[in-house]
Structure 1
Amino acid sequence: MKRFFLFLVVATTIFACNSTKNSVSDKGDGKHFGAKIKPTGAISYDALLAELDAKDSLKVKVVGKVEGVCQVKGCWMNIISDAEGKPKMFVKFKDYAFFMPKDISGRKVVMQGMAYREVTPVDELRHYAEDAGKSAAEIALITKPKEELKFMASGVVLLD
């Protein structure tokens, strides 16, 4: 009985370690997270910003630069433009189905999904600030909701 229990614990551990939420693969064009997408045909982040000026939302494939990633789980990231003064975009992952590595700031990604604008409430802004490692004093300064550019990604390719 003890051997069976030990076998069960070992098998469960191996299975848990091999079945991650990231569903990551390396296809030679970068590391894939979530739905398998091709990095070709993506528009630039700046082109997306221009298109969103005229629309509320847009289903799109976009390439952008990662500014930061949730340091708790990798469950969100921010995308920025290479140009100064452009807004950043907050990216979450569809159905919470995958996470990104926490050390990819400065790297380029291609994402497929839905870009949109949304007002983020104070409690959620504070939660994300905490995830980003902000101090208690910085978090306390968050007192108003904020309209943000957001993206719900169904798939991401981390480019080499």
Structure 2
Amino acid sequence: MVYGQKPDTLTVMGANKVEAFMGKKTRIITAIEGKVIRVTKAKGGWFEMDAGNSKIIAAHFKDYNITLPKELTGRTVIIDGVAQKLFIADDLQHLAGDTVTGKKQHQVKTDPKRKVTFEVRGLLVDK
């Protein structure tokens, strides 16, 4: 089954290798293969993929009109799209009208397991 555009299956890499492959790059266009942990939101195609070493890739479709079935959980899929690294900021940049100086006002909380997000153009159910 294919959702969205049919992914390019010639240059597929494992989901556990994406972060290392990216190196210092913040965004790359690639195709990866991995197991779906869970479908978090069916409408818009939001799901989580196992990236090995207890890491998770948070993925969603570029096209919001895609609806994924919950039965996709546990299946191996090939996804094609844009992988991005998330960065944790020590200080948030000034918000409009924020003039307080000195102590940090805001704290950014991110799940350390989710360092890579993926904007999916196409998904192919493999197994």
* TM-score, normalised relative to structure 2: 0.71
Identity %: 23
Native 8 Å contact 1:65 1:108 kept in 2 = yes
Say if 2:36 is the partner of 1:80: no
Q: Can you list the C-alpha shifts for 1:24-57, whole angstroms capped at 9, x where unaligned?
A: xxxxxxx100012243431111221211333211
Per the alignment, residue 41 of structure 1 pairs with: 11
Give the greater-gyration-radius structure (CA): 1
Runs of 4+ in 1 over 4 A off after TM superposition: none
Secondary structure of the structure 2 residue equivalent to 1:95 = coil
Q: Deviation at 1:117?
A: 1.9
Are the structure 2 counterparts of residues 97 and 56 from structure 1 closer, same or farther at C-alpha, using a change threshold of 3 Å? same
Q: What is the rounded CA distance, in whole Å, between the counterparts of 2:73 and 2:33 in structure 1?
A: 14
Per the alignment, residue 68 of structure 1 pairs with: 38
Secondary structure of the structure 2 residue equivalent to 1:146 = coil
**Mind listing any 5+ residue stretches in structure 1 that lack a counterpart?**
1-30, 121-142
Flag the structure with higher strand content: 2
Letter in 2 for 1:116: Q
Flag the structure with higher helix content: 1
**Mind listing any 5+ residue stretches in structure 2 that lack a counterpart?**
89-106
Root-mean-square deviation (CA, aligned residues, Å) is 2.4
